[in-house]
Amino acid sequence: MALKRVVVVLALFLSLVVQRVGIAEESFFNWGSCLRWRITGICRIVCHRGHCHVWVRVRHWRPDEVAETVNVPGDTIWGKSFPGITASILGAASGSVPSQAANAASGMGGGGVRTATGPLMDEKFFETHVFGVPWSVMINEQPFLNKWGCSGGKAGLMYASEPDPLWHNDQRDRGRDARSSMVGNWGPLYPRQGRAFHGSEVVASGLLSYRAMDLTAGIGGKQMQLGYPTKTACMIPGADPRAWDYNRGRPGTGGKYLWVYWKPVSCCIQVR
């Protein structure tokens, strides 16, 4: 009974800590909406000579990847915000996608350039990049996670659409039924290329980021949130835009959007 009280008090205390540190300034991550940290049970108890050590099972969501869309080949949001990290990832201190990637895309497309066939009504085209989010970035924003979080994350440039010819045409996923792959009312997952048809620019960006994630890190069980130019709460991919768009795709963004992808994780942590 005493042990149960300790766990309950600890859970309450840590939940208050999460609420206090849940929102970081100048951050792409909506910690307050998406972290959802909680204790779900006891993993094990080891007692020796009257002293007990307790491990509890913790569950929360972790932002393992970000996906960005840009109009200009080689442009980047994530790279400019974390130059110290992306210098080694991208091979340039400026934080841009390697020049060979942009050069390889020459003549194949780019933001606003449409080489795929089909009607142009509400057509949007963006280059897309997927990055892993290092654990060091997470704990820098939320030091609480260094002791009470499930470590993980990734690092590196996982995908850049510039040198991918299949991002710039209709040839990928030939034979797949687009109508059976709808991501809510955002549009179809297939074909996984850089063109989308939607009246909202930010919704089209969300769909293209989702396609790029499916090509690289996978999308199973993940939720997403807009991290730039404004932040939304976490949502299931394909969520009704009427609940979150609110003209976030307004003119002036230049087609630059960044999406954070969160996955549920669980681990055991020693509390005493």
Give per-residue pLDDT as tens, 207-249: 999 999 999 999 999 999 999 999 999 999 999 999 999 877 6
- Specify the pTM: 0.82
Cβ neighbours, 10 Å, residue 168 = 25
pLDDT for residue 4 is more than 60: no
Q: Which tokens go with 63?
A: 């932002």
pLDDT digits (tens, 9 = 90+) for 183-206: 999 999 999 999 999 989 999 999
Averaged confidence pLDDT in the chain: 82
Q: Is 64 exposed, middle or buried (0-12, 13-18, 19+ CB in 10 A)?
A: buried
pLDDT digits (tens, 9 = 90+) for 124-163: 999 999 999 999 999 999 999 999 999 999 888 899 999 9
Is 268 within 8 Å of 58 (Cβ atoms)? yes
Q: Which tokens go with 271?
A: 């509390």
Return the percentage of the chain with pLDDT > 90, whole number: 58
Q: Is 88 exposed, middle or buried (0-12, 13-18, 19+ CB in 10 A)?
A: exposed
Closest to 262 (Cα-Cα) out of 10, 112, 67, 93: 67
Strands 51-70, 195-197: pairing is unpaired
